[in-house]
Amino acid sequence: MKVDQNSRSYAVVLEPDLEGVGFTAIVPALPGVVTEGDSIEDAMENAADAIRLCLEDLRECGQPIPSSDIGARLERIEVQIAS
C-alpha cells in the first residue's frame, strides 16, 4: 500500500458547546488549532480546514510539519478535590 507523503492524520478532540448548541474542535498536536461547528460534521470539516491552513503556514515559514499522531490516545483521570 502506497502512503501519500502529503497526507497527515491528526486527533481531534470534540467538546460540546456550553450552551449545547454545537461543538468545539481542538487539535492537540497543533497548538492553537481550535475551531467550532454547529454539528460534529461541521466541527470536523472546520477542523480539517484549520489543520490545512496551519500546515500551509508552517511550510511557508520553513517550520517542520508535525508528523501524524495516529498513535494519540485519550485517557481519563479522576482526581479528588478538597471539600
With 90 as the cut, is the pLDDT of residue 15 above it? yes
C-alpha span between 64 and 80 (Å, rounded): 40
**pTM: predicted TM-score of the whole model, two decimal places:** 0.80
Return the H-helix or E-strand segment holding 13.
strand 13-16
| Cell numbers for 13 | 478532540
User: 17-69, pLDDT tens digit by residue?
Assistant: 988 889 999 999 998 999 999 999 999 999 999 999 999 999 999 999 988 77
Give the per-residue pLDDT at 30.
92
